[in-house]
Each structure stands twice: as structure tokens, then as C-alpha cells.
């Protein structure tokens, strides 16, 4: 069940506008490709790129490192690859939330193997306390506590992605 609203839609939009300002300044002199990690980053990617003041290439990658559990295995399975050539490009990886960091580390390694000029990571949310692997985050929207959240792209069993606000989700047993 949805336990508590953690981040309002208004706050999310403000955070994204601030991130976009920083990224706009960083785009100078770059040949950018924005790579969103499906499916969670779709809403963030859309909102963020609409704030950018120049044209950028947009693509998506889908990786799965979670099986039936909520813990990352650290071994990424590529479900959908990017369709553009990123060699020599400045890649911005767009992620909804960085938890252990294992998924992102795998995706970044996979992208780096294609010889982009640079790879930077942009995440809307970060749960630093849960990190299992050191991974530099170049642009972070908000730090959050160790709570399982849904909404604005984030799901529980594929549900709740289209909520405008971000909520803490607890299973019915925990919430009872
Ligand atoms: P990591 O490999 O960093 O542990 O996992 C990152 C992925 O786990 C995110 O892209 C997201 O799909 C999922 N994840 C991590 N924390 C949460 C959370 O609080 N809520 C939801 N819905 N997904 C999460």
C-alpha cells in the first residue's frame, strides 16, 4: 500500500528544473547522447530533456539485474540495447534511482566498452546509505532515506509508475 507521500509532484518538477540548468551549462562543447534506463527513467528523461535548451540525441537501454527479489544480483542482462552509435559521443546515463549502484555500474561498464568520449550519470534519486559499489554520480536530484518508493516512473511489480508524486510503498503485511 502507499504509506506516505515522500516527494510532491511540484518538488519533483523543481528538482528537475534545477538539474536541467546544471546540465545545460555542462552541455557546452559536447556531442550529447542521453541514454535512459528503461523503464523507470522514462518519466524523468522526458521531463528533463524538455528543459534542455539545445537539441540532444535520446535513446534507451533496458537491463535487468533483479530477478524475483528486490536485491540486485550485480550481473546485468541486456534486454534492449541502444540503437545509436555512441563512439566518440558524450553520454549522459539517465537513471530514476541509484540504490546499491550495481545495475548502474554494469550499464556504465557496458557503455564505456563502446568508446564514448565521456560517460556521466544523472539520477533523480539516490539512496547513498545502500550503496554496495563506489560509482560517481555527476548529477543528483535528491538524496533519500532507505525507503522503497514508487511513482514518477518507479514501480512495484510494474504498478504505480504513472503516479505524479513519489510515495513510500510498503507491502500489506508491513502496513497492517
Ligand atoms: P541498484 O542496482 O542501484 O540496486 O538498483 C537500481 C534499480 O533498482 C533502480 O533502477 C530501480 O529500478 C530499482 N530500485 C531501487 N530502489 C528502488 C525503490 O526505492 N523503488 C523502486 N520502485 N525501485 C527501486
Q: What would the pLDDT profile of 25-80 be if each residue is shown by its tens digit?
A: 999 999 999 999 999 999 999 999 999 999 999 999 999 865 544 455 556 789 99
- CATH number for the domain spanning 25: value is 3.40.50.2020
How many domains does one find in the chain?
A: 1
Judge whether 123 lies within some domain: yes
Judge whether 105 lies within some domain: yes
Q: Is 104 in the pocket of ligand 1 (CB under 6 A)?
A: yes
The full DSSP string for 149-173 is EEBTTB-BTTBSTT-SSEEEE--HH
Q: Is 73 in the pocket of ligand 1 (CB under 6 A)?
A: no
C-alpha cell at 25: 551549462
Q: State which ligand 1 atom lies nearest to the alpha carbon of 132.
A: 4
pTM: 0.93
* Per-position b or e across 135-146, b if 16+ CB within 10 A of its CB: bebebbbbebee
Give the residue numbers marked as catalytic: 99
Give the residue, by CA position, lying nearest to ligand 1 atom 8.
Answer: 99
pLDDT tens-digit series, residues 73-112: 556 789 999 999 999 999 999 999 999 999 999 999 999 9
Judge whether 155 lies within some domain: no
Give the residue, by CA position, lying nearest to ligand 1 atom 5.
Answer: 99
Structural domain for 39, as ranges: 9-145
Amino acid at each position: 500500500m502507499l504509506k506516505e507521500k515522500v516527494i510532491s509532484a511540484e518538488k519533483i518538477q523543481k528538482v528537475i528544473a534545477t538539474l536541467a540548468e546544471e546540465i545545460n551549462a555542462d552541455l557546452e562543447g559536447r556531442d550529447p547522447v542521453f541514454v535512459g534506463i528503461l523503464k523507470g527513467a522514462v518519466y524523468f528523461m522526458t521531463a528533463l530533456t524538455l528543459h534542455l535548451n539545445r537539441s540532444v540525441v535520446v535513446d534507451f537501454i533496458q537491463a535487468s539485474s533483479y530477478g524475483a527479489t528486490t536485491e540486485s544480483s550485480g550481473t546485468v542482462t541486456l534486454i534492449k540495447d541502444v540503437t545509436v552509435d555512441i563512439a566518440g559521443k558524450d553520454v549522459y546515463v539517465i537513471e530514476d534511482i541509484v540504490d546499491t549502484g550495481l545495475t548502474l555500474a554494469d550499464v556504465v561498464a557496458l557503455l564505456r566498452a563502446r568508446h564514448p568520449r565521456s560517460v556521466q550519470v544523472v539520477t533523480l534519486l539516490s539512496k547513498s546509505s545502500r550503496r554496495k559499489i563506489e560509482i560517481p554520480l555527476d548529477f543528483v536530484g535528491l538524496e533519500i532515506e532507505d525507503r522503497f518508493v514508487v511513482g514518477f516512473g518507479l514501480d512495484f511489480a510494474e504498478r504505480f509508475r504513472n503516479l505524479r508524486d513519489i510515495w513510500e510503498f510498503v507491502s500489506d503485511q508491513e502496513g497492517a
